[in-house]
Amino acid sequence: MENQTEVSEFIFLGLTHVRSLQSYLFTLFLLLYMASILGNGATVAVILAELQLHTPMYFFLGNLSSLDIFFSTVTVPKMLAGFLSGHHTISFTSCLAQLHFFHFLGSSEAMLLAVMAYDRYVAICNPLRYTLVMNPQACLLLAGVTWATGFLHALMHTVMTSRLHFCGPNRIHHFFCDIKPLLSLACSSTHLNLSLLNTVTGIIGVSPFILTLLSYLYIISFLSLKVRSRESRRKAFSTCTSHLTVIALYYGTVIFAYLCPSSGSSKGEEMIITLVYSVITPDLNPLIYTLWNSEVKYATRKFIIRKLFPETN
């Protein structure tokens, strides 16, 4: 066997090498990251504080906001540190950790969106059985399975990637340790890794999408055939508008990034797509739910007033 020097660290080629542009990008992504932390953190705080939001729908929304906080934290702080210092390096161990948590949180979010769609299906199509079906124990079980499945899915990719040999180039054409750019640097065979990425990750991504699609097809058919009042249909479907928008943002970018052939798009395009669902989408989610959900809007206003003017309560 030939002696091979194992790579101990990787270098991110990132979004740009222009130093003056990096300072602008630092400011932009710092503001986006702060908005994500504050927006999603406020959503979790409001859900915990306001009793009228202690329902299955908002329990899952709280989980989604928590996922978004962690999701953006996996990539953005490291990217900001690189913009600030000019050193875009990461150790092999830290790279594997970043890969693990990115796929752990990303796949958990995909499944959580499907659970939220199922929650809306039960609430609208089976309202009399809603409290029975979506009881606290069932909600905790669904949330636990979602997080656990995402963790095990990511662990599979992390273990398989850690078994590869990296002995050649160590420059990653990305702003974080994503699995496809990392596999392209491996000296050993990545056939099994790519097969798992295409099959298991495809199942993890497509199955929740199908479940979400079926849930909303049942909701639409139920509202069209069983609900006579236009106002009742509008009110029922208004509870789904925010969720549908979040689903469109998430799946529109994830499917293009992971389920479409990479040869059809440049590395720059893939990075922009990843930025949308890993950095920008976590910023938009609390904004979408606040603007388009009257309950969250009212509870947020009530929460802010109570914090600013405690003597009025």
Mean pLDDT confidence for 243-258: 77
112-164 per-position pLDDT tens digit: 999 999 999 999 999 899 999 999 999 999 999 999 999 999 999 999 999 98
Per-residue pLDDT of 262-273, as tens digits, reads 544 566 777 888
Report residue 306's pLDDT band, with 50, 70 and 90 as the boundaries: confident
Q: Is 1 helix (H, G, I), strand (E, B) or coil?
A: coil
* pLDDT higher than 90, residue 32: yes
**Which of the four pLDDT bands, split at 50, 70 and 90, describes residue 261?**
low
Rounded to whole angstroms, the Cα distance separating 176 from 171 reads: 11
246 near 229, Cβ under 8 Å? no
How would residue 240 be classed by pLDDT, with cut points 50, 70 and 90? confident
Over residues 281-302, mean pLDDT: 83
Give 258's pLDDT tier (boundaries 50, 70, 90): low
If pLDDT is split at 50, 70 and 90, which confidence band does 251 have? confident
Residue 2 has pLDDT above 50, yes or no: no
pLDDT by residue (tens digit) across 187-216?
888 899 989 888 888 888 889 989 999 999
Q: Looking at the domain covering 9-304, what would its CATH class be?
A: mainly alpha
Note the pLDDT tens digit of each residue in 79-118.
999 888 888 899 999 999 999 999 999 999 999 999 999 9
pLDDT at 311: 62
Long-range contacts of 50-59 (CB under 8 A, 24+ apart): 50/299, 50/302, 50/303, 52/295, 52/299, 53/295, 53/296, 53/299, 56/119, 56/123, 56/134, 56/139, 57/116, 57/119, 57/120, 57/123, 57/239, 58/295, 58/296, 59/139, 59/143
Listed residue (221, 28, 243) closest to 114, CA to CA? 243
Instruction: Tell me what the mean pLDDT of segment 164-192 comes to.
Output: 88
Q: Where are the domains of the chain?
A: 9-304
Q: What is the pLDDT of residues 41-80, one digit of tens each?
A: 999 999 999 888 899 999 999 999 999 999 999 999 999 9
